[in-house]
Amino acid sequence: MPGPIRWPAWFGGQTPVAYGADYNPEQWPEETWAEDMSLMAEAGVNLVTVGVFAWARLQPTPQDWDFGWLDRVLDSLADHRIAVDLATATASTPAWFTTRHRQAALVTDQGVRLSHGSRQVWCPSSPDYRQASLEVVERMASRYGDHPALALWHVSNELGCHNAVCYCDQSAESFRAWLQLRYGDLDNLNWAWGTDFWSQRYSAWEEILPPRATSSFGNPTHRLDYIRFSSDELRGQLAAEAGLLRRLTPEVPVTTNLMLPSAWADLDYSRWTDQVDVIANDHYTDSADRRRHVGLALAADASRGLGQGRPWLLMEHSTSAVNWQPINRAKAPGELQRNSLAHLARGADATLFFQWRASQAGAERHHSAMVPHAGPDSELFRQVKSLGADLARLAPVVGSETVAPIGLVVDQNSWAASRLDCLPSSRLDFSARLRAWYEALWDAHLTCDVIPSNADFDRYRLLIVPHWSLMDLAQADRLRDFVEAGGHLVATFFSGVADANQRVHLGGYPGALRDLLGLRVEEFRPLLAGEEVNLSDGSKGTLWSEPVQVTDATPLARYLDGPSASYPAVTVVRRGLGAAWYVSTQLDSAALGELVDQVADQAQVPRIDAPADVEIVVRRGPQAQYTFVINHSEEDVGLRFNGVDLLTGDSGPVIVVPAGAVRVVEQRPS
């Protein structure tokens, strides 16, 4: 298997931190390209992504192909010693394709077939699209497989960003084939879907359709299977492109850029990773998120967690504002550096941007870039150059692994299902719950891998498992084995409720986890909007409550009021060499912090003592370990280190990190 990036020969076997951006020269007159090369050199750019939206330029009509311009781009990049992450150019179809192959365009659940003029309007199940896109891939691979600049294949782009689900007739046909593979016969499907409810029973495969607009709540497993199917269809496109590339250019690594964590809600990324040689992710901070650096860290830890702890590539982030949020905040001074290096701390070996030059036209013309509309004579470009210099100093970090003794487990199936209707509360908001646990860990200076629920648990001392509601018994057994072998587990309300197909486990909640957790719940008692309950330890709960009956668990806190008054709210039980906690309400953030502290101590997870809002993450390489210190606070901070900051050359015993600054302290075994 090829390594994550095949750096061209001129790098002399060095593996730098990859630095660059999407480069879309086709949007600019060729005379601009020369300036691009010289500015890239100035900025320290060593890798650019080319061709993401080039299909219409490469194949301007069904009959015509034009690779000349791309030849010139790649040759010029090679001449300037810049490596290329070459996109397969299949992300968006040309106008001729979308208008001639109407049946390849996405159809909404209302039956509206989408039109040309945006991006990704193709149906993931379209044979026409599959054929046309693979022809592009084949030509790209044949033409550029041996190009000296080629360092990595970039399949498609943000697969499923706008075309995650299509409801057309071709999708219907593929869905039936997928179901036949999954269920074998209709009786199994009828049982799994519970079609005896509301007289929904199917008597023939051809009666099954996508979950199109219907009169009221749809069948939940029909809907969940459609989400799974749709994810698999996109994976199918990834596999088809990646397979073709591997056949034609076996020595070139392949990736595709994911959208963690948000798109994970619909796309089962853990089933995609076998198709890529390295995880790549796109992440943009959210202007409306007051603590957006915590959201960034979560995305990075998920990128690493998805790849079982291995380094990964930050394929896109922004130098400043984006264009697609309701209000697109510009980044504050220093934020660009903090953002990029926080990704690096958390395992990224590449920090790339969308995009090199801010577009003059199109929907993203107000998206920031490495070269802004104002041009290179700008504060932003100066920051870009400064970051390039930083990254050059951080080359030793490449390949080292981020130290993370905790697993924060995401069961994608439960996440997807939590977005359907007819649940005890529509306010569950899996994403916000995940963030709340993550934020408690972040605030405690604890680094976790954010991992899929089928990951290897043995790497961790502590697993935090929020709201894994759909849990087969075999999955529960894995958690039991983990705990009995000495692991520590935190489970939360609305967990273990049903099997993976949403069929409820009988006998009391939390179903599959009842025995492991040593408790039983007879009904859910969600809290109303604005309702808050008091717990015996002084903390507060919102959103949910449960009248927990312990069998052999020990209550740690009880409800003092609210619908579950007098019942335990938080419990713990020892099992084998480990222990399992249960949290039956949404604790306030202080209480969540205290719980995380307590659990981490019990799990003997090493703790770092640092001031609030100072992010500390360690990468460990074969020769040295690298402690990233990112000071998000408004105070300068002095930390004791025996080591040297790679960015400034400062050395211990106390290294001062000014407010807003970053330090990367290299420590070698003495």
Q: Considering beta carbons, is residue 406 or 569 the nearer one to its own copies?
A: 569
Q: Considering beta carbons, is residue 507 or 622 the nearer one to its own copies?
A: 507
Q: Considering beta carbons, is residue 332 or 590 the nearer one to its own copies?
A: 332
SS (H, E, C) 199-221: HCCCCCHHHCCCCCCCCCCCCHH
Identify the residue whose tokens are 């903090």.
Answer: 338
For residue 393, the surrounding DSSP H or E stretch is helix 379-393
Q: Could you give the angle at the alpha carbon of 356 between the alpha carbons of 274 and 58, nearest 5°?
A: 70
Note if the bond before 355 is cis, omega within 30 degrees. yes
What order of strands is seen across the sheet that includes strand 540-542?
A: 532-534, 540-542, 586-587
Q: Give one DSSP letter per residue of 4-49, joined into a string.
A: S----GGGTT--PPEEEEEE-GGGS-HHHHHHHHHHHHHHT--EEE
DSSP class of 493 = S
What order of strands is seen across the sheet that includes strand 401-402?
A: 401-402, 614-620, 625-631, 662-667, 644-645
Phi first, then psi: give them for residue 364, nearest 5 degrees. Answer: -110, 25
Q: How far is the CB of 143 from its own copies (least distance, A)?
A: 18
Are 469 and 544 in contact, with CB atoms under 8 Å apart? Answer: no
Q: Which residues pair with 2 in a beta bridge?
A: none
Q: How far is the CB of 96 from its own copies (least distance, A)?
A: 5
Neighbour count for residue 404 (Cβ, 10 Å): 25
Q: How far is the CB of 594 from its own copies (least distance, A)?
A: 27
Q: Considering beta carbons, is residue 363 or 485 the nearer one to its own copies?
A: 363
Q: How far is the CB of 187 from its own copies (least distance, A)?
A: 11
**CA count, 13 A, side-chain hemisphere, 35:** 11
Are 374 and 29 in contact, with CB atoms under 8 Å apart? Answer: no
**For the stretch 308-323, what's the b/e string if a residue is b when 16 or more beta carbons lie within 10 angstroms of its beta carbon?**
ebbbbbbbbbbbbbbe
Q: Considering beta carbons, is residue 201 or 574 the nearer one to its own copies?
A: 201
DSSP class of 535 = B
Q: How far is the CB of 378 from its own copies (least distance, A)?
A: 5
Q: How far is the CB of 335 from its own copies (least distance, A)?
A: 10
CA–CA distance, 655 with 29 (Å, rounded to integer) = 48
Q: Which two tokens stand for residue 415?
A: 């996440």
CA–CA distance, 174 with 190 (Å, rounded to integer) = 18
Q: Considering beta carbons, is residue 9 or 422 the nearer one to its own copies?
A: 422
Q: Report which of 453, 401, 481, 459 is spatially closest to residue 605, judged by C-alpha positions.
A: 459
CA distance readout (Å), 30 to 41, 53, 407: 18, 17, 49
CA distance readout (Å), 128 to 88, 93, 102, 133, 573: 17, 11, 10, 8, 56
Q: How far is the CB of 210 from its own copies (least distance, A)?
A: 8
**Amino acid at site 272:** W
Q: How far is the CB of 46 from its own copies (least distance, A)?
A: 25
Q: How far is the CB of 355 from its own copies (least distance, A)?
A: 10
Q: Considering beta carbons, is residue 66 or 635 the nearer one to its own copies?
A: 66
Rg of the chain on CA atoms, in Å: 26
Known catalytic residues are: 158, 316
